[in-house]
């Protein structure tokens, strides 16, 4: 090689090395979301789920009941939940259909259909946990409704390399809502409602995420109502998202007994 080209070769190699060592964008900057953008992304993911079906094991612990059963659930947003509960060897125990306005609950062993309006504590009587219809739908899909927070700035916003933590303080109710989000997949991994003195009122925990249509869905869900000593644990074995659900109707035998509550 001609010696007069040596300095140019050296400069080119040096520039290539420097350019290769300087990232186009800092890694931490790529991971950090402004709070409003993060909320829109989280709520957008929740709203992508139009239909949901899953099967697995449902564990309920409360002062009224402690039970572990196999179950299958179907949801059509925004207004229908259908659930079937099975005992050992796949024995039918009960089937329920709940909408925002009314419900049907078929007790197979008693061959009795209970019907009525969704009001008061009726969902607590059916599912043995004190949750609203909307909270129950979100619980089964492993979601947290953030609609009311879209126009609010969080009172606290913590960021790190692996998680984001949003805190909202409700002065009227004297409570705090705290949301923990994984930075890797933007999945809500924990939600807490606390008193201003950090005493837990309600807590939801989500684990074992798998991605459906770019939305992380948890296979392990825990909802704890500390005030009422109620614990709902869901362990899914199978999940389908946004597949067509042909019907949400319940089927009954002709000799069924009917009771209106």
Q: Where residue 123 sits, what CATH number does that domain have?
A: 2.50.20.10
* Predicted structure pTM score: 0.82
Tokens of residue 91, six digits? 């024995």
What's the mean pLDDT when you consider all of the chain?
Answer: 85
Instruction: Give tens-digit pLDDT for 164-180.
Output: 999 999 988 899 999 99
Looking at residue 111, its pLDDT comes to 95
Count structural domains, the chain. Answer: 1
Cβ contact 101:117 at 8 Å: yes
Task: Report which of 200, 201, 94, 204 is spatially closest to residue 138, judged by C-alpha positions.
Answer: 204
Instruction: Give tens-digit pLDDT for 210-256.
Output: 999 999 999 999 989 888 888 889 999 999 999 999 889 998 888 99
Assigned domain for 97 exists: yes
Q: At a CB cut-off of 8 Å and minimum separation 6, what does 98 contact?
A: 80, 81, 82, 83, 118, 123, 126, 133, 136
Assigned domain for 254 exists: no
Which residue segment(s) compose the domain that 118 sits in? 28-239
Assigned domain for 163 exists: yes
Assigned domain for 154 exists: yes
Which band of pLDDT confidence, cut at 50, 70 and 90, is reported for residue 39? Answer: very high
On the question of pLDDT at 162 being above 70, the answer is yes
- Is the Cα torsion angle 47, 159, 162, 17 positive or negative in sign? positive
Assigned domain for 83 exists: yes
On the question of pLDDT at 126 being above 80, the answer is no
């Amino acid at each position: 090689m001609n010696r007069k080209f040596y300095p140019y070769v050296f400069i080119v190699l040096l520039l290539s090395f420097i350019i290769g060592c300087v990232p186009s964008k800092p890694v931490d900057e790529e991971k950090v979301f402004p709070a409003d953008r993060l909320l829109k992304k989280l709520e957008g993911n929740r709203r992508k789920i139009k239909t949901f079906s899953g099967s697995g094991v449902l564990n309920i612990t409360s002062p009224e009941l402690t039970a572990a059963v196999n179950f299958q659930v179907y949801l059509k947003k925004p207004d229908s939940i259908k659930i079937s509960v099975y005992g050992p060897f796949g024995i039918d125990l009960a089937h329920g259909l709940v909408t925002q306005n009314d419900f049907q609950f078929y007790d197979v062993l008693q061959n009795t259909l209970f019907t009525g309006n969704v009001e008061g504590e009726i969902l607590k009587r059916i599912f043995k946990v004190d949750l609203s219809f909307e909270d129950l739908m979100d619980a089964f899909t492993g979601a947290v409704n953030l609609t009311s927070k879209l126009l609010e700035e969080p009172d606290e916003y913590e960021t790190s390399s692996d998680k984001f933590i949003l805190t909202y303080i409700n002065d009227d109710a004297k409570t705090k809502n705290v949301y923990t989000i994984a930075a890797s997949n933007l999945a809500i991994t924990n939600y807490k409602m606390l008193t201003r003195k950090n005493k837990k009122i309600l807590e939801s925990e989500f684990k074992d995420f798998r991605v459906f249509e770019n939305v992380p869905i948890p296979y392990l869900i825990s909802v704890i109502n500390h005030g009422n000593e109620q614990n709902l644990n869901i362990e899914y074995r199978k999940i389908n998202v946004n597949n067509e659900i042909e019907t949400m109707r319940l089927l009954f035998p002709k000799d069924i007994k009917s009771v209106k509550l």
